[in-house]
Amino acid sequence: MALAKTDATQEAITCNLKCGEGRACRLQMPQCINAQCNPIPTCIPEDAECIKWCPDDEMCMFDWANNSMYCDSLCATVRCRAGYECDVQQVQCFTTPCPPVAVCERSD
């Protein structure tokens, strides 16, 4: 059920910021405190592409303060209630980029 809600949220988010010359609007996944975190429209250099290889449960992120790339665990800041654990899932998107999301799922 939660995944369907996340899919609908992903579809509704558009990148419509007016960015300066040489910059483009891209949806960036922020560090989240809960599993219902949505991407945030951000102006980045047009030719920027996060190319650092990251494990499956992490994603490549930009540090705009020093123009570097790093891997960040999507579940690092997610706290799930008792009986649930954080799992990184790829969701279906209709725009790019389409980053995976952290979802709390029932533990086995």
**27-82 pLDDT per residue, tens:** 776 666 666 677 778 887 777 677 888 887 788 887 766 778 888 888 888 889 99
CA-to-CA distance for 98 and 91, rounded, in angstroms? 7
Cis peptide bond N-terminal to 30, omega within 30: no
Neighbours of 74 (CB within 10 A): 23
CA-to-CA distance for 39 and 27, rounded, in angstroms? 5
Give yes or no for residue 98 having a pLDDT over 50: yes
